[in-house]
Structure 1
Amino acid sequence: MNLNERNSAILDALLSNPSISSALIEKKFGLSKRQLGYSIQKINSWLKQLSLPLIERTSQGQFLIDEKVFTALNHVKETAEQNHSSILTVRQRTHLLLCMLISKDYLTLDHFSIALHISRNTILRDLKNLQKQLEPFQLHIRYGRKLGYYIEGNEFQLRKALMSTLIEFLESDNILPELIDVLELKEDCLYSFRDRIEQVEKKLSIKFTDEKMKTMPLTLFLILQRIRKGARLTDPPISYKELAGTKEYQAAEELLFDQEGLPEAEKLFITLHLLSANVVTTEMKEEDAIPDLYPAVDSMLSLFEKVTCIRMQERKQLLHKLMQHIKPAYYRIKYNLTDTTPVPGVLNGEFRSLHQLVKRSLEPLELFIESEIPENEQIYITLLIGGWIRQQGESIGEKVKAIVVCPQGVSVSKLMFHELSGLFPEFIFLDSMSVREFITYDLEYDIVFSPVLLETSRKLFITKTVLDTHEKRLLRKQVLSYIHGFVSKEVRTSDIIQIISNHATVKNKEALEKELQAYLTQVDEHVVKTTSDETQQQQLCDFLINQHLKMAYQIGSWEDAVRSCAGSLLDKGNIEPRYIDAMIKSCEKDPYIVIGPGIAIPHASPEDGVVRTGMSLLKIKNGVQYLGYRIHILVVIAAKDKKEHIHALMQLMKLSKSEADLKKLIDASGIPDMRRIIQQYSDDVVKEKEFYYG
């Protein structure tokens, strides 16, 4: 009689901590009193077979274990270690099962049981666990009398599952001999493949990571084994044009010199495997680079520097390091080869905040790849950048970290975030979020901006969603006073010229003043109203042209009003019909789109059918009922990206705060009158380009 997995674990827990109570054992293993009693009976039956004293329990729930048990079982453990036997985890066993299913034919429960030294019942449980692991790859474990156990599904997906499994499985020390033994492999074959891969390294002037050198020989061996058995790729999603001209394609042909009649699709798959493998060093030449990848990585790094207010030293070397990682990542992402196994425990402390900022900087790279960057790839980029920052002695931990919490919907929240990060460029703004998201937010921050009162142990600044120039000036003074204990004075060029004149002769005061002003403007980027990026954006009047303005005396329902307002955008091809349905659905229960007395901004997500950014306005003299509000002005917003409409939205928000001008807009007798008010708010914002020093 042998102990099962659970009873062995309970016995180990008792031997490790004899003073542990029954209650703690029950809690640790999720057992009832009756189940624990049954397990102790089984353990005692096993001890009796070994002629060892039984484990007793006191009335207080403590365990009494004889010293002979400790001595005997420790001896058994030492003997097992000397014989190099290993106890595999459930995860490791499922990895072994997958490798067996991929490489062997006609497998039964007995085959698995003998190979892994466990019972048939345990094998059945492990096969269920393996099936869960295979679900993301749309693979299924089947059984047939003639075929035994086998995996059914797309061959490309099966190979992805194999590569993912080997990466995780071979991370454990000394596990390779176990795999070689179970698969009955010849070590000479693996060493031969390792030699071939080292020749590939020399040809390509690269060094693969240790992890890749561990997994690649085995991966290639098992894949070629499958190909020889007739398991070929059918219609793989690999671009011949993109891969066939690479140096890796030539290297793949040399690697497979003895594989006659290998289909082109299989050569391309091996090429892709080489291209997507991580390297520790590479001599990257211009002709080997992916066109336009370098500018995309450069833009990503520039955006990161802007977001974090950190200027990278030795920037070219960092770009080279990033390219070294991102080039193979490009192929992994494009062909969905990224390992989905989470990277555990690497983003602690400051790196967690850094990761949030890296995620906000990835847009240029995602636009280039035309795909979101998977979480694991994001983490590796964070580790690269974070390691470089630490090497420079920089730290985002030393910078003020802020968040923005707004209960008024996504667009308003982003608007607040945009304005405040412009007002405080020396701070790191981590996130904008709703109140519900804030309750569970777990990143470290120093200050929080919000239009509503929040429960927080950090400094809270209550602020409006939209601030005029004077209000911004006051808020900046208030925040800097809290952070630094003082507010810097305004720097005047006239004062600087006077100081210079006291000690030197100034030949041309006017030219000197002009140069000083330009320099101070460049150095101090505390822009109160707009940044250079914003000045290029379209104004409210650019979006709300005559064709996008409508008037009605009365309208039947809220839904009719939204459809009528969006009509001009639909006619001009800015939106698809489904965008209107999405708007109506998204604001059925939440009045966050009401931004002022009688004015609302219906909108939905870009993926709901936005073709290009646009706005349209409907004025209803008599108003329309919406969730307890009487709405007279509807402005439908269709935003294709996160930036293009923000400037115009700021202007609209400012208009929404003026009851007098809103009333003028509602009372307007025609489109020209409406345009004059819209133009007035567009012009006002353009004029407010004031630079603020403290």
Structure 2
Amino acid sequence: MTLDKRSVHILNLFLDRDDFYTVQELSKKVGISRRTVYYDLKKINAWLSEHQLEKIQQQKGTGFYLKKSVKAEIPELINELDEWQYFHNKEERLALLAVKLMTDSQPLFVKDFMSLTRVSRGTVFSDLKMLKTELGEWSLILTYQHTDGYIIEGKESTKRSALVHYATNLISKDKWNDILLNINQISSIESKNLRYFNQHHLNQMKTVILNAETFLGNELTDETLHFLAIQLLILQQRIEQGNRVSVEESEKEVLKETKEFEAAYWISGQLKAEGVNLPEDEIYFLTMNLLGSRVNHSDYNEAKTEEMMELKKVIAKMVTDFQKYACVMLRQRNELEETLFTHLKPAYYRIKYDVEIHNNLTESVQEEYPEVYKLTAKVTSHLEALLNKSVGEQEIAYITIHFGGWLKKEGKRPKPRKRALIVCENGVGTSNILRVQLEELISSIDIVDNVSVRQFHQQSCSDVDVIFSTTPIQSSSIPVFVINPILNEKEKEYILRQFNLLSTNHDVEDANSISELINLVKKHATISDETALFHDLTKYFNLDSKEELKEFGKPMLKDLLTVDMIQMKDSVSNWEEAIEIAAEPLLHQNLITSDYVKAMISDVKNLGPYIVIAPRIAIPHSRPENGVNQVGLSMLQLKNSVSFSEQEKHKANLLFVLAAVDNETHLKALSQLTNMLSEDSNVDYLINASSKDEVIGLVDKYSN
């Protein structure tokens, strides 16, 4: 017997896997039902038996696996099969349908798509429905006519962007050589119409682009080179099929002055030698794509066109606002602006000319650096104002990488994250509530799963660092925290203490002993600052707690802006006095030194009223090394505003003095403060508040 394409694909998955596959995993990877997975496994085992090889093994409660001795025999047998084809998952099928629709000049019907993807009629209809939704996001319309079949309608430039997107998704896969080989073997697609699915043609076009770097005066990134080669082959194909773009005359005048136009003109000459004539508008269209291409460096000082000078101003505003919102002062600001220019110059043209960008890091950036991403999204408003266009998530993610990298370059390395498991006997709903509480409490953990007590005893937990359980359980090697499903403040404090010591490689018993000692002291004396006492006792007993308990978990706004950090006054003599008074609570608790107050005043004198982030609001701050002992935040309310300059916009009624120990610890609290102050009604409320409790009530509302 011979194996079909899907069975060979499943068999190859086992060859590439050293451990087990569950039926659920195989179902998701291959895009078939569990029932079909079992059917295919039975077919594969029959084929293995026919070749005197051991079957795919099953271990109860774990999954299926293939023995190493069997793996060694299979590749040669697969090569001897009469026929095998790559089996496409849903994402690849949608990309194939889109490419087929935008490259074939003949009417296309369901039977053509069935032949292309080798799936059932029902699956094709399902895929077409999903593709129609995706194309709608490009402002493209998938329509069906009885005589002409399925067609995609919309602007030619948009079609090309979508075609680049789908083609790149296919070619960027880990096993793209296998995909390309089988695409070109499918009879319903003529390989002559799909040069970008041919390695030889791709390499030829890459050589042309590499030679054009002389005109660009710059080096393209490897990813960009590959991406441009696909774009250029698609452009060539669309022209041959009679599809054209048009560029406005006013835009041509601007494009003609760029080095990228010289490169595009030279490339057109190379293509002409191959028998391909690019119309004038297509050369300008190619120029747009070259302008939007990422490069390894840009000459900041040489970029002096009016357009680029405006972009430099925008970058300066973005850096200023980022420092303002993040309350950090970057030592090498000029170098950061030049680095950002290298990225933002092509990004500017991508956004301006609607050039497709391929960024697989967007989701991971949003998940790993949420605070920095949020601040970056805020400052990109300057770029949006310049272009009168919105900046997409993918572009924001790239800019976030630059800002985040710079923060780390000038600050501390982030703490290593720990993997945690929740064991809960009360069901999924309760465990999810607990999960939210723990993730809010400790920002440096990743909760990998919620399981029941029975599931806990049935599976291995060797890949987690800590377990949170709502019922007593035993684990020989992993610390277990037994907690209630709904945490009160005392329990949260207890968990933070234990977790803090765990993170510094000390036993949980150390935390218990310190907690017990503090409780003993409380019986006979009043403790004014329990957190500070915990910190000092930890140091006294040589437990080497290097950071404050609250700092480890990235404190929330309510952790920093407490009642004793709030002051209310009618007026002050001048802005210098305002800063001095606003900083007093931080000084009294030794969170800052007097040098820090002097530094804040000096910075305003030297740099101007940069601390006034919005009308009526100022956030005085300076660098950590100027006298910060511990992260902190204080507030001064003034009924009568104080002026930081002669301009009306630099008057402030609310001063929030920030003491940051590094470039990251304070970001969560600052983000919550920014959210609170973004509402004019909240600003009015804070200015008119008659008691500290009113302020605390609003602070608690935004400390989520």
**TM-score, scaled relative to structure 1:** 0.54
Specify the code of the residue in structure 2 equivalent to 1:286: A
Aligned residues of 1:3 and 1:42 also touching (Cα < 8 A): no
Specify the code of the residue in structure 2 equivalent to 1:193: M
Specify the code of the residue in structure 2 equivalent to 1:243: L
Residues 161 and 311 of structure 1: CA distance in aligned 2, closer, same or farther (over 3 Å): same
- What per-residue deviation string (whole Å, max 9, x for no partner) do you get for residues 645-664 of structure 1? 97x99678645759xxxxxx
Alignment of 1:354-503 (within 5 A): 354-393=372-411, 446-449=554-557, 461-462=562-563, 467-468=568-569, 476-478=583-585, 484=590, 488=593
Match for residue 266 of structure 1 among 278, 282, 292: 282
Distance 2:388 2:58 in 1: 64
Match for residue 278 of structure 1 among 294, 298, 314: 294
Residues 2 and 139 of structure 1: CA distance in aligned 2, closer, same or farther (over 3 Å): farther
Aligned residues of 1:96 and 1:179 also touching (Cα < 8 A): no
Aligned residues of 2:213 and 2:220 also touching (Cα < 8 A): yes
* 1:233 lines up with 2:245 in the alignment: yes
Aligned residues of 1:167 and 1:215 also touching (Cα < 8 A): yes
Unmatched 5+ stretches in structure 1: 404-442, 451-457, 494-515, 541-641, 659-694
1:193 aligned residue = 205
2:669 aligned residue = none
Distance 2:61 2:369 in 1: 44
| Structure 1 residue 473, shift from structure 2 partner | 8.1
Distance 1:163 1:533 in 2: 52
| Structure 1 residue 397, shift from structure 2 partner | 8.0
Alignment of 1:489-568 (within 5 A): 522=605, 525=620, 536-537=647-648
Distance 1:255 1:202 in 2: 12
- What per-residue deviation string (whole Å, max 9, x for no partner) do you get for residues 154-181 of structure 1? 2122111122224433333452574375
1:204 aligned residue = 216
Specify the code of the residue in structure 1 equivalent to 2:104: K
Residues 652 and 195 of structure 1: CA distance in aligned 2, closer, same or farther (over 3 Å): same
Aligned residues of 1:252 and 1:270 also touching (Cα < 8 A): yes
1:214 aligned residue = 226
Distance 2:62 2:259 in 1: 68
2:314 aligned residue = 296
SS at match of 1:373: coil
Aligned residues of 2:264 and 2:287 also touching (Cα < 8 A): yes
Distance 2:276 2:333 in 1: 47
- What per-residue deviation string (whole Å, max 9, x for no partner) do you get for residues 263-315 of structure 1? 44323221111111111123452345624111111121122223334333443
Distance 2:166 2:264 in 1: 23
Residues 239 and 158 of structure 1: CA distance in aligned 2, closer, same or farther (over 3 Å): same
Residues 334 and 65 of structure 1: CA distance in aligned 2, closer, same or farther (over 3 Å): closer
| Structure 1 residue 330, shift from structure 2 partner | 0.9
Distance 1:140 1:651 in 2: 48
- What per-residue deviation string (whole Å, max 9, x for no partner) do you get for residues 250-271 of structure 1? 3222211227774443232211
* 1:92 lines up with 2:200 in the alignment: no
Distance 1:55 1:643 in 2: 61
2:38 aligned residue = 40
* 1:251 lines up with 2:249 in the alignment: no
SS at match of 1:151: strand
Distance 1:254 1:522 in 2: 53
Residues 538 and 518 of structure 1: CA distance in aligned 2, closer, same or farther (over 3 Å): closer
Distance 1:271 1:358 in 2: 29
| Structure 1 residue 28, shift from structure 2 partner | 8.4
| Structure 1 residue 224, shift from structure 2 partner | 1.9
| Structure 1 residue 208, shift from structure 2 partner | 1.4
Aligned residues of 1:276 and 1:328 also touching (Cα < 8 A): yes
Aligned residues of 1:354 and 1:396 also touching (Cα < 8 A): no
SS at match of 2:297: strand
Alignment of 1:649-668 (within 5 A): 654=687, 657=690
Aligned sequence identity (%): 21
1:172 aligned residue = 173
- What per-residue deviation string (whole Å, max 9, x for no partner) do you get for residues 46-97 of structure 1? 6446655888999x98989997xx8667744565489997554332333233
Aligned residues of 1:366 and 1:372 also touching (Cα < 8 A): yes
RMSD between aligned residues: 5.4
* 1:329 lines up with 2:353 in the alignment: no
Unmatched 5+ stretches in structure 2: 185-190, 417-439, 442-550, 572-577, 612-619, 622-634, 652-675, 692-704
- What per-residue deviation string (whole Å, max 9, x for no partner) do you get for residues 173-230 of structure 1? 4525743752343655444432321232110101111111112122212222112211
- What per-residue deviation string (whole Å, max 9, x for no partner) do you get for residues 532-580 of structure 1? 667622599xxxxxxxxxxxxxxxxxxxxxxxxxxxxxxxxxxxxxxxx
Specify the code of the residue in structure 2 equivalent to 1:240: K
Q: How many residues align?
A: 475
SS at match of 1:233: coil
**TM-score, scaled relative to structure 2:** 0.54
- What per-residue deviation string (whole Å, max 9, x for no partner) do you get for residues 598-617 of structure 1? xxxxxxxxxxxxxxxxxxxx
